Amino acid sequence: MLFDTHSHLNLPAFDKDRYEVANKCLRDNIWMINVGIDYESSRKAVEIARRYKEGVFAAVGLHPENLGKEVFRGDRYKALAESPKVVAIGEIGLDFWQLPKEKEKQERQKDMQKRVLEKEILLAQELGLPIIFHCRKAHNELIEILKNIKGKKLCGVIHCFTGNITQAKEYLSMGFYLGFDGIIFKMDLDNVLQKVPMEKMLVETDCPYLTPPQEGKRRNRPEFVKYVVRHIAEAKQMSLNEVAAITAQNAKTLFCLEK
Ligand SMILES: [Zn+2]
């Protein structure tokens, strides 16, 4: 079995065929979590998951890139998260990739991202759900925030991990998982892949984005997670089946999907 822990069949790129794509995955024994990036896509993720008895789950959250378009309202996300299909809060986090050039505006952006993130973390704590973190060009800032969170211990995954081994170790020491996707074909992360323990790794696609080069310019989809699994297997000198089985088990453990 394969488990794509980060897909977006909830986005418009799949408007025409999301259920066909999901059905085919289930026939091939591929499970997935569709992850929200704003209220509408979160609602859609829940709607999709509700159609399936098992194998298709949802995460709800407001992505830092969408803060300009939506004001975060915890009550709305909390209502969505009441569905038993919601297995995580996410994707939430920090994205310092395309900040305004002007220093003052930049600081204001960063502060706003941090404030909303803290609210979303509180919601996850309140609901007792794991968190799917998005973090781009902000690992040290995110680590700092996570170290200072009070109250209930957090669990979750740093999705699409692109940090260095020192940052990876910081996350691991706090108990987080690291998620790997097609970005490993664009950046050389083999050093990280080799050193992160297998039991802390998740695999994902982030489809429709980040198509592995083996599939050219096509739209990415959950089944292409197999290329990520294969690359990790090579980096760690393990068998493909072992990596598939362990990462699927890790996902079931983190997102509490054991019966
Ligand atoms: Zn994503």
71 located within any domain: yes
Distance 62 CA to ligand 1 centre (A): 11
pLDDT digits (tens, 9 = 90+) for 106-152: 999 999 999 999 999 999 999 999 999 999 999 999 999 999 999 99
Q: How far is CA 65 from CA 9, 70, 71, 220, in A?
A: 19, 10, 12, 21
- Which runs of E-coded beta strand occur in the chain? 2-7, 30-35, 56-60, 86-95, 131-136, 156-158, 177-180, 201-203
Average pLDDT value for the chain: 97
- pTM score, whole prediction: 0.97
35 CA distance to ligand 1 centroid (A)? Answer: 6
Does 8 reside within a domain? Answer: yes
**For residue 74, is it within any domain?**
yes
Q: If you measure from the C-alpha of residue 143 to the centroid of ligand 1, how many angstroms do you get, rounded to a whole number? A: 19
Q: Do the domain assignments include residue 43?
A: yes
CATH of the domain at 94: 3.20.20.140
34, 10 Cβ separation under 8 angstroms:
yes
Q: Is the pLDDT of residue 259 over 80?
A: no
Q: What is the mean pLDDT of residues 206-213?
A: 97
pLDDT of residue 258: 80
Q: What is the rounded CA–CA span in Å between residue 123 and residue 20?
A: 33
* Centroid of ligand 1 to alpha carbon of 78 (angstroms): 20
In a domain, 259, yes or no: no
Is the residue at 58 inside a domain?
A: yes
Q: Does 156 fall in a domain?
A: yes
What is the per-residue pLDDT across 26-79, written as a single tens digit (0 to 9) for each? 999 999 999 999 999 999 999 999 999 999 999 999 999 999 999 999 999 999
Strand arrangement, sheet containing 201-203: 2-7, 30-35, 56-60, 86-95, 131-136, 156-158, 177-180, 201-203
Is residue 175 situated within a structural domain? yes
Q: How far is the CA of 132 from the centre of ligand 1 (A)?
A: 9
Q: How remote is the CA of residue 59 from the centroid of ligand 1, in Å? A: 11
Average pLDDT over residues 73-88: 97
Kindly give the distance from the C-alpha atom of residue 182 to the centroid of ligand 1, in angstroms, as a whole number.
12
Mean pLDDT of 168-193: 97
Q: How many Å lie between the centroid of ligand 1 and the Cα of residue 206?
A: 5
Residues 6+ apart with CB under 8 A from 30: 1, 2, 3, 4, 55, 222, 223, 225
Count: domains in the chain = 1
pLDDT tens string 90-111:
999 999 998 999 999 999 999 9
Full residue range of the structural domain in which residue 207 is found? 2-254
